[in-house]
């Protein structure tokens, strides 16, 4: 059966080209407004506080991993309440490549590896909408092992350090997605997959996107009434069932068009549309461009 998480991650093409080590001592605070850039943080030592817009503040501790697939605004600060003046103080570069916040001398209270992910897919915004808004993972043995490897690699300037860190962070990203599933997760694909009945319907949509699904048919696959399925799906995944199916079909269509795998009629058939004209109308409404123009623009961008 299809693996929705693997398919979404494969289309996202995640990488982690930028990271840095930051330590903090005393009172300090940093405010960032990143306009949707995927942000991650690994707590290597100590503890600090994270406040993401729209979420309750989280006290982070050693071994924690945080991933925000689309970070619009957040603050990180010391556990000791920071003043407005503390937020105005930029980090200071240290001689060995780390950055320091707060008190510049002496031992640190916290040491972090922070950075930004890059999603290679031009359709990243649509795919990110299928993921939880905030992932905070703690106490997962497998994830802790990867975090330890990241910490060890980040401390030494060994050959190919940046390459190894990038690969480890990619694995960390995928493992965090798997570890963040559960009823307490924010709405998204992973929370839906944690629900056994919804997971079966989700896998059916991914495995057979060409089937003319209806809410009633998907509810039957999930062994739920139509109303119960609709309400439960929306609460867990964050969108209505047919909205999710449309988003997934459009993601598949855009990938096929980018890779020039067939004409419009063939692409339409491969994502569940009975005719090229019906597909073109749906694609244009969803993407903002007709499929022929989208394919042309993708081709031109590959040659620039």
C-alpha of 249 from chain center: 19
Q: How confident is the model at residue 223 (pLDDT cuts 50, 70, 90)?
A: very high
pLDDT in tens, 102-145: 988 888 999 998 887 777 776 677 667 767 778 888 878 887 78
Between 2 and 276, residue with greater pLDDT: 276
Q: Where are the domains of the chain?
A: 4-179, 195-302
Q: What is the mean pLDDT of the chain?
A: 84
SS3 304: coil
Which runs of consecutive H residues, i.e. helices, occur in the chain? 4-12, 84-87, 124-128, 141-155, 161-179, 189-194, 196-207, 215-221, 226-237, 241-258, 264-270, 276-287, 291-302
CATH code for the structural domain at 195-302:
1.10.10.60
Tokens at residue 9, please? 């991650």
- Tens of pLDDT, residues 24-83: 999 999 888 766 677 888 898 999 999 988 888 999 999 888 888 776 788 999 999 888
- Residue 78 confidence (pLDDT): 94
CATH 3.30.360.10 matches 4-179: no
Q: State the residue for tokens 């569940």.
A: 272
> Would you give the DSSP letter of residue 82?
P
pLDDT of residue 21: 86
């Amino acid at each position: 059966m299809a693996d929705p998480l693997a398919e979404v991650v494969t289309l996202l093409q995640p990488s982690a080209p930028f990271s840095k080590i930051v330590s903090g001592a005393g009172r300090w605070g940093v405010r960032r407004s990143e306009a949707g850039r995927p942000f991650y943080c690994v707590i290597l030592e100590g503890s600090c506080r994270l406040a993401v817009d729209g979420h309750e503040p989280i006290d982070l501790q050693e071994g924690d991993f945080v991933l925000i697939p689309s970070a619009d605004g957040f603050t990180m600060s010391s556990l000791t309440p920071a003043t407005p003046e503390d937020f105005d103080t930029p980090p200071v570069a240290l001689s060995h490549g780390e950055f320091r916040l707060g008190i510049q001398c002496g031992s640190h209270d916290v040491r972090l590896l922070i950075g930004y992910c890059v999603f290679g897919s031009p359709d990243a915004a649509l795919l990110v909408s299928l993921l939880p808004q905030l992932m905070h993972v703690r106490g997962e043995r497998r994830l802790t092992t990867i975090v330890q490897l990241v910490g060890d690699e980040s401390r030494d300037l060994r050959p190919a350090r940046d390459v190894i860190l990038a690969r480890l962070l990619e694995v960390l990203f995928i493992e965090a997605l798997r570890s963040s599933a559960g009823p307490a997760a924010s709405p998204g694909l992973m929370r839906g997959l944690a629900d056994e009945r919804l997971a079966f319907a989700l896998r059916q949509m991914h495995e057979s996107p060409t089937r003319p699904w209806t809410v009633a048919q998907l509810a039957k696959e999930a062994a739920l009434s139509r109303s119960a399925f609709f309400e439960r799906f929306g609460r867990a995944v964050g969108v209505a069932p047919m909205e999710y199916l449309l988003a997934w079909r459009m993601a598949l269509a855009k990938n096929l068009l980018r890779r020039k795998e067939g004409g419009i009629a063939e692409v339409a058939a491969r994502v569940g549309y009975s005719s090229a004209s019906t597909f073109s109308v749906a694609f244009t409404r969803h993407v903002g461009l007709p499929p022929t123009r989208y394919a042309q623009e993708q081709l031109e961008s590959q040659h620039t």
